[in-house]
Amino acid sequence: MSDTLSRITLARRPKGDPVPEDFKLETGACPSPAEGDVLIEVTHLSLDPYMRGRMDEAKSYAPSVDLGGTMTGQGVGRVLESKADDFAEGDIVTGMTGWASHACLPGSELRKLDPSLPPSTALGVLGMPGLTGWVGLHSFGKPKKGETLVVGAATGPVGSMVGQLAKQMGLRTVAIAGGDEKCRLATDTFGFDAAIDHRAHDDAKSLRAAIADAAPDGVDIYWENVGGKTLEAVMPLMNVHGRIPLCGMVAWYGGSNIATENQLPGMWRNILVKRLQVSGFIIFDHWDQYPAFLKDVAPKVAAGEITYIEDVATGLENAPDAFIAMLKGGNTGKQIVKL
C-alpha cells in the first residue's frame, strides 16, 4: 500500500469556463482511519456537470469547494483498512471520495457494491446519473404511452437513461445531441426514434423546425438538462399540460447569459397559456428512492435491457482536462477517470 495520497485541489475560482490553471495536483500523507472509518484506495472517479457549480463561491443547494480543497465527487475503491462494522479489507465500495487517490470516510457514508457488476456502474448507470433519470422521469415527467419525449444531451448518462426508460414505456423519443456520432449512438445504441444534431443548426429557429419534424404531434415531456438554444427551440412546441423535469443547464454553467429580455417573457407566457409543469429537482433530495431504483434498473442493466457507455480517462492528473472537455460536450457517455 502506498503511504502517499494524491489529490486534485481547487487552485482558483474559474471566470467562465474552467481552465487547467484552476486546478492543482498535490500530494501528502495517506490518512489513517479512526474508529468507525474506512480507508479506501480509489480506483474510479466520477466527473459530473454539477461540479462546475461547486467551484463558484455562490449560495446553492450544496457547499462550494474551498480554495485549496479537494475537488468534490463520487468515487469507487477498494477497502485497505476498516475500523467500521460491516466493512472488511478487499470490499469494493462507493462514496464521496473527492478527486483523490485515497479517502478516509465513515462507514455510514459508504455502500458496498454488487461484485457481479463492473464497479464503475455505481458512478453512472446505477449511480447518481441513473437515479436522476429514473426519479425525474417517473416523478416529474409522468410519462404516458403514446406521448412524445424530447431529451437534451441525450447520449449522456442521464439523458440515455431517460430515453431508454421512456421507450420501454411506449413513448416516442427524440434525442438532441452534438454531432453525427452522438446522433448515431442515440438511435442505434440507446434506441431513440429520432436524433437531431444541435450543432447543425445556427439558431433556435432552425433547431425548432427540425424538432417539429421529428415530433409532429408536439412535445409532451421535455427533459431539461441543457438550457441555451435547445430550451429556446423546444418551448413553443410544448403541448398543453406538458411537463419539463429540470435537472441542469449545462449550456449556462460557464456564465453565459441565461435569457435576454425578450426570451424570458415568451417562455413565461408558454408556461402559463399551455399550463406547463416545470419541476426543478436536485437528486440529493431523493436518495430515499435509491433502493427502489436499484431494484428496478439493476436487473435490466445485468440483462442488457438498459445500455450504457463510459468514456474513461486514465490517471488522476488527467481529471481536469477530462472535466473541461466534458463541459463542452467532448465526452461520449458517462465520464469516468480510472486511477
128-135 and 157-168 helices, crossing angle to 10°:
40
pLDDT category of residue 37 using cuts at 50, 70 and 90: very high
For residues 159 and 20, state if they share a domain: no
pLDDT digits 0-9 by tens, 15-27: 989 999 999 999 9
Give every CB contact of residue 20 below 8 A, 6+ residues apart in sequence: 320, 321, 324
pLDDT category of residue 44 using cuts at 50, 70 and 90: very high
300, part of any domain: no
Of the residues 236, 268, 283, the one at which a domain ends: 283
302, part of any domain: no
For residues 176 and 244, state if they share a domain: yes
- The CA-based angle 262-267-269, given to 5 degrees, is 100
For residues 238 and 96, state if they share a domain: no
296, part of any domain: no
Task: Please tell me whether residue 23 adopts helix, strand or coil conformation.
Answer: strand
> Is the pLDDT at 255 greater than 60, yes or no?
no
pLDDT category of residue 128 using cuts at 50, 70 and 90: very high
pLDDT at 249: 76
Which residue do the cell numbers 464497479 mark?
A: 119
pLDDT digits 0-9 by tens, 298-339: 999 999 999 999 999 999 999 999 999 999 888 888 999 999
151, part of any domain: yes
For residues 161 and 264, state if they share a domain: yes
Sign (positive or negative) of CA dihedral 322, 324, 330, 335? positive
pTM over 0.85: yes
19, part of any domain: yes
CATH number at residue 13: 3.90.180.10
Domain extent at residue 85: 4-124+309-338
For residues 92 and 143, state if they share a domain: no
For residues 113 and 145, state if they share a domain: no
CA atoms within 13 A on the CB side of 144: 6
For residues 90 and 55, state if they share a domain: yes
Instruction: Give the burial class of 31: count Cβ atoms within 10 A of its Cβ; 0-12 exposed, 13-18 middle, 19 or more buried.
Output: middle
For residues 148 and 115, state if they share a domain: no
Which amino acid, residue 38?
Answer: V
CATH number at residue 261: 3.40.50.720
For residues 137 and 74, state if they share a domain: no
For residues 167 and 185, state if they share a domain: yes
Which residue do the cell numbers 483523490 mark?
A: 100
Count of structural domains, the chain: 2
